[in-house]
Structure 1
């Protein structure tokens, strides 16, 4: 019995590597937001240390069930105060390295979940 669709009918992350991801055949070398609702946009943050509550508040626009925060090449958490706006809206937040967040996004989006991936892609000198 087949449980998975033959193809995903939403944006998917097609490939990734250290310092980049590919969505829709386009390679991105800077931070992006990918949403199962179809939104793909630049995420104006070049370094983990620059993250603010506003960076996370803008992720609520698609009313996701969960936000996957890809923290760069390694797992790094942000202060809970930066996530407060999402948590108060009842939106789950999971933090993982960017490559794990990309893989997890594809799985959840493929299941039809309302998911947003905020993928921090830092310049080589920023890590």
Structure 2
């Protein structure tokens, strides 16, 4: 229950802004003095909780937000989890049409690359599969 016995309102996780990822592992991420358990999507409109838990769950629907915000994105980094898994060339077409380069790598490498690109004020978006190591 929330305040004064009111039902607790659950919302989708969302941080309205761009933020570097301070830490990852143990099934989640830390950023902007907050922590989030589970996977993340970082786009120009903010940082969102993201439902995929493994590379195989990264569907076209799961990446739709990237295409909706394509005007502010030149690079999409895909953090695949514990290891690199190539994003299929056949699925890159819609991103190329919008001028977005797609690069997949392990989540750790994607976080580091995202932070560097964000620090350079580059037009970058990222999706990160949560990992259990620290």
Quote how far apart the aligned CAs of 1:120 are: 1.2
Q: What corresponds to 1:44 in structure 2?
A: 51
Q: Aligned match of 1:100 in 95, 109, 112?
A: 109
Moved more, 38-47 or 91-100: 38-47
| Distance of aligned partners of 1:50 and 1:65 in 2 relative to their CA distance in 1, 3 Å threshold | same
| Distance of aligned partners of 1:73 and 1:79 in 2 relative to their CA distance in 1, 3 Å threshold | same
Larger relative contact order (Cα-Cα within 8 Å, sequence gap ≥ 6): 1
Unaligned runs of 5+ in 2: 1-16
CA contact (8 A) 1:34 1:40 kept: yes
Unaligned runs of 5+ in 1: 1-8
Q: What corresponds to 2:37 in structure 1?
A: 29
Q: What corresponds to 1:110 in structure 2?
A: 119
After TM superposition, the score normalised by the length of structure 2 is: 0.74
Q: What corresponds to 1:85 in structure 2?
A: 94
State the aligned residue count.
Answer: 115
